Amino acid sequence: MKTKDSGRRRFLKNSAAFAGLALGAARTAQGADTPADTSAARPKDLHSYGERSRYETSARLGAMGLYDPAPPGYHRDFGYRNPIQDSVGYITPAPLHFVIAHGYEPPDIDPAEHHLLIHGLVDKPLIFSLDDLKRFPSVTRAHFLECNANGAPAGPTGQYRVAPTATAQDTHGFTSCSLWTGVPLSIILKRVGVKPEAKWIIGEGSEKGKHTKSIPIEKAMDDVLIAYGQNGEALRPQQGYPIRLLVPGWEGINNVKWLRKIKLVDEPYMGMWESTKYPSLRPDGLSRWFQFQMGPRTVITRPSGGQKLNGPGFYEISGLAWSGGGLVRSIEVSTDNGQTWREAEIQSPVYPKAHVRFGFGWDWNGNETILQSRCTDEVGERQPSVVELAKFWKVEPDFFIKTGTIPGHFNAIQPWKVNSDGSVQNAISF
């Protein structure tokens, strides 16, 4: 605590000296400033904590670009999407990572006051402070996080995903990838001692709605993290500061933010979201629940919807691939509306359950065409077309746009149409 205080005094002293300079620069920057942090009380010194160039304006957007009226401190929106069309490499900057919290604002948590309780079917229930958690061995791993409804063609935001004007942010903005740092949950579970009858864990958050999620013990013992770091610094408030569950490859809803409690239990607890909002109701009237893993998926981010090619010639087609099944084994690109597919080049490290950047050199002859990508993962799953997906669901393809439900896990191949004037538009069809 002593070093922290002296650090703060030094920061304030330096800040005062730079205040005139720094404030002027900071106020002109545009983009995805996060609401209501402590920056108002703290002059910005860009030498102390940097910002991007004022010419960089890529920003998250609400799913409809607007927010329903709500009392101060609450937003009722369908999430904030990552501007994936502007992305480079395979890591999403934390301030652009997509946000879904079912309308709840991040709680303002002082990490010195925050604790994690682990109890239930354990030998010794324990409470851990953040300092306690940092006494355990840490790991750092790249993992994507993706919302179950990423790219859903129906539901409240479906029309924005299927519109010809849709950008990759509209179609695929509910996935992001970070380097997460934290403690493997298996280590902490070893510390508390798991009783043999414990089959599930229930994670619980600290936000106003206290989100809960049931996760099988096998997954908890496998690769789940209690994450406190993201891309080399503390988690952002929107991402669960100071700690969150990180459940690699599984639906975003599992990754409980602002984690305050884990209970070990004998059965799933059927929380409201997991038992009534996330099951997949099909036309036979039966709901498939606890579908867990996100399937293999790719999206070409460049050229993608809303962008424009500057005449015929060479372009590097660039995109992202990922799968909840593990490693991405191969990525293919088609530049002729799916008649031929060729292997793309992998241009970033390949980690299990993480985004992978791919590239594909392309000479555009100036004719209208359709660009597509697909991948296959280490468990042998290949990203489906809309028709293949419909067949597996035992529905007609237009079910995906006509249904009054939200068709989750919609990982169909994304086609982008390049018009002869170089403009690019969403060409998904059903």
CA pair distance 319, 325, nearest whole angstrom: 19
Site for another protein in 395-414 (CB under 8 A): 399, 402-405, 408-409, 411
Site for another protein in 244-303 (CB under 8 A): 251, 260-261, 263, 265, 267-272, 275-276, 279-281, 283-296
Contact present, 335 and 423 (Cβ < 8 Å): no
C-alpha torsion sign, points 248, 64, 375, 318: negative
HSE-up of 29 (CA within 13 Å, CB side)?
19
- Binder of another protein out of 218, 310, 339, 363 (CB under 8 A): 218
CA pair distance 59, 238, nearest whole angstrom: 15
- Binder of another protein out of 165, 208, 232, 308 (CB under 8 A): 208
DSSP E strands: which ranges in 138-208? Answer: 139-146, 175-184, 200-205
CA pair distance 190, 29, nearest whole angstrom: 47
DSSP character string of 233-301 = EEPPGGGTTT-EEE-TTB-GGGS-SSEEEEEEESS----HIIIIISSEE-TTS-EE----B---EEEEE
Q: Which one, 29 or 265, has the nearer CB to another protein?
A: 265
Residue reference for tokens 């100071």: 242
Contact present, 16 and 8 (Cβ < 8 Å): no
At closest approach, how far in Å is the CB of 109 from another protein? 15
Site for another protein in 361-390 (CB under 8 A): 377, 379, 381, 384, 389
- Binder of another protein out of 85, 176, 181, 212 (CB under 8 A): 212
Does position 71 interact with another protein (CB under 8 A)? The reply is yes
Q: Which one, 68 or 343, has the nearer CB to another protein?
A: 68
Site for another protein in 298-327 (CB under 8 A): 323-325
Binding flags for another protein, 140-179, as an x/- string (CB under 8 A): ----------------------------------------
Residue reference for tokens 């629940």: 289
In total, the chain counts a number of residues equal to: 430
Q: Which one, 350 or 370, has the nearer CB to another protein?
A: 350
At closest approach, how far in Å is the CB of 387 from another protein? 14
Q: Which one, 86 or 146, has the nearer CB to another protein?
A: 146
* CA diameter of the chain: 68
- Binder of another protein out of 64, 132, 370, 417 (CB under 8 A): 132
Binding flags for another protein, 99-128, as an x/- string (CB under 8 A): ------------------x-x----xxxxx
State the number of binding residues for another protein (CB under 8 A): 78
At closest approach, how far in Å is the CB of 111 from another protein? 16
Closest CA to 101 of 78, 68, 69: 78
At closest approach, how far in Å is the CB of 277 from another protein? 9
Determine the interface stretch with another protein among 41-49, 55-63, 67-75, 306-314 (rule: CB under 8 A).
67-75
